[in-house]
Amino acid sequence: MRVCCLFSGGKDSSYSLHRMLLSGFEVPVLLTMRSADPDSWLYQTPGMEASHMFHELTGIETRVVHSPVSRELEKEVLSGALKVLKDEFDLDAVCSGALMSDYQRMAFTDAACDAGLVSFTPLWRKDGRTYMKELLELGFRFILLSYSSEGFGDQDLGRVVEEADLERFFSLSDRWRSHPAFEGGEAETLVLEAPLYKRRMEVEGCVIKDGPCRARFVLNRMVLV
């Protein structure tokens, strides 16, 4: 089957792409949705400064489509983009990194059905702790681009997550009853290196505080090596 992967550059979409490729699916194109809503329930918004590099990073053709602020129109725009890509790349299915959000899974599934495509969610209901450990074991190197929860600090942003960090994140999850893989929006990520990527990304940036428990790492320099 020929599959389009929804791709934000974050850990969930990167791992889903990894799973599809290892399962023998053809992935001729990635679709990156750039939402105008910084608090979009459907798409990751931090890190989109790097979206023009996703093609070279992964070695897969990448199309970037801008999505409106309106949540009512988000699915319509996604469905329209998938219809275009289906014809252009002879697609059979679309893959997303939905992990726990029924809202995301149903929105992606509805858009896929509207476009005449099968919807795959290879991460769906995967145990959060197991998943995060597996990412590091497989060689995924990722940074936090933002946080929106108690317990995180500016020191967590912009640096590669290590095994010791995971234990602290899990402790925060237990304390605040949040998801250990940040599925509730506690943090957003960017994968700099992955087993099947063609290149590795190096980044520099600055931290912007948006509140007492909310900050983001804005990318101002990105290079592929």
Provide the pLDDT confidence category of residue 184 given band limits of 50, 70 and 90: confident
CA pair distance 26, 20, nearest whole angstrom: 8
CB 97 within 8 A of CB 104: no
Per-residue confidence band for 66, with pLDDT thresholds at 50, 70 and 90: very high
User: What pLDDT does 20 receive?
Assistant: 98
Place of tokens 């679309």: 94
C-alpha to C-alpha distances, 188 to 71, 87, 88, 92, 159, nearest whole angstrom: 20, 32, 31, 29, 13
What residue has token string 């509730």? 184
The residue with tokens 């897969």 is 60
Q: What is the pLDDT of residue 16?
A: 98
Q: Is the pLDDT of residue 104 over 90?
A: yes
Q: 112 vs 43, 75, 118, 123, CA distance in Å?
A: 15, 10, 6, 17
Measure the CA–CA gap between 184 and 181, rounded to whole angstroms: 8
190 touches 54 (CB < 8 A):
no
**Res. 85: pLDDT tops 90:** yes
Stretch 183-211: mean pLDDT, rounded?
96
Which structural domains are found in the chain, ordered by start?
2-120 (3.40.50.620), 128-224 (3.90.1490.10)
pLDDT at 124: 97
Model pLDDT for residues 129-179, shown as the tens digit of each residue: 999 999 999 999 999 999 999 999 999 999 999 999 999 999 999 999 999
The residue with tokens 């997550």 is 161
Query: What is the pLDDT averaged over residues 33-52?
Result: 94
Compute the average pLDDT of residues 35-52: 94
- pLDDT value for 209: 95
| Predicted local confidence at residue 71, as pLDDT | 81
Give whole-number Cα distances, 36 to 69, 77, 142, in Å: 5, 12, 24
Cα–Cα distance measured from residue 50 to residue 146, given in angstroms and rounded to the nearest whole number: 15
